Structure 1
Amino acid sequence: MTDAGPGDKHKAEPPDAETRLADLARDWITLWQSELAAMAQDREWREAWTGLMTLWAGAATAAIGAAEAMSRHEPHRRPRADGTPRPPPAAAAPDAGGDAVERLHRRIAELEARLAALERDGGPGGP
């Protein structure tokens, strides 16, 4: 144990990293709150920001319109890097269910015809 002389001052322990980080975050938030409050009061800044957002909205609308227009057309096929043309796209797969769908359509038409005849004749057990 050492004796502290009359000239020795009590040295406070430095704050830990977590405390320093919390203080830094609090100061940073306070700084930005004051900056944002000042910008909100500035008429020229509001006008510039409104103009920028209007410009951005117009650009976004134009980009969406261009994307929709491009999606309606077949994609452009660029040649390969060596200049040779690309092969044509592969043919679509055959419709394996085409015959079954056609049979279902015929059967539905037959059933609708029978139903119409039953309704016309009064049906079984009718008047």
Structure 2
Amino acid sequence: MNQPTGSNPTAGLNPSTATDSLKTNLGEAGSHLKSAASAAGVAVKGAAGAAGDELRLGRANVKSELADSALAGLAAAESGSAAAREQMDALMDKSRDLVDSAAELIRERPLASFGVAFAAGWVIAKLARSGDK
């Protein structure tokens, strides 16, 4: 029963020995799969824990940035209010200067000022009447 090398390797083995070998190998493969599944479970739990920690940290960072944003917005609103007051004061100063200039012009040339005022009134009255039609 000598068979050439390279033919069926289990041909010379006892059938019960091949079956036992198959069972042993399958058992070992099953044991490795079980260990791999356990390791994967541990890895997933670890990843979930790390993700939860990162989520909590991220949430805290978002809250902090939103609070800082709100404070900066309030500061900008206060600055805007002060800037609006400054602009209003500047506008009021310019309007006072304009009124003073107009008063000075009226004092210097009362007849011309009356004529301009009369003409402006007449134009405004014409425009108002044409808008009624």
TM-score, scaled relative to structure 1: 0.33
Larger radius of gyration: 2
TM-score, scaled relative to structure 2: 0.32
Q: Considering fraction of residues, name the structure with more helix.
A: 2
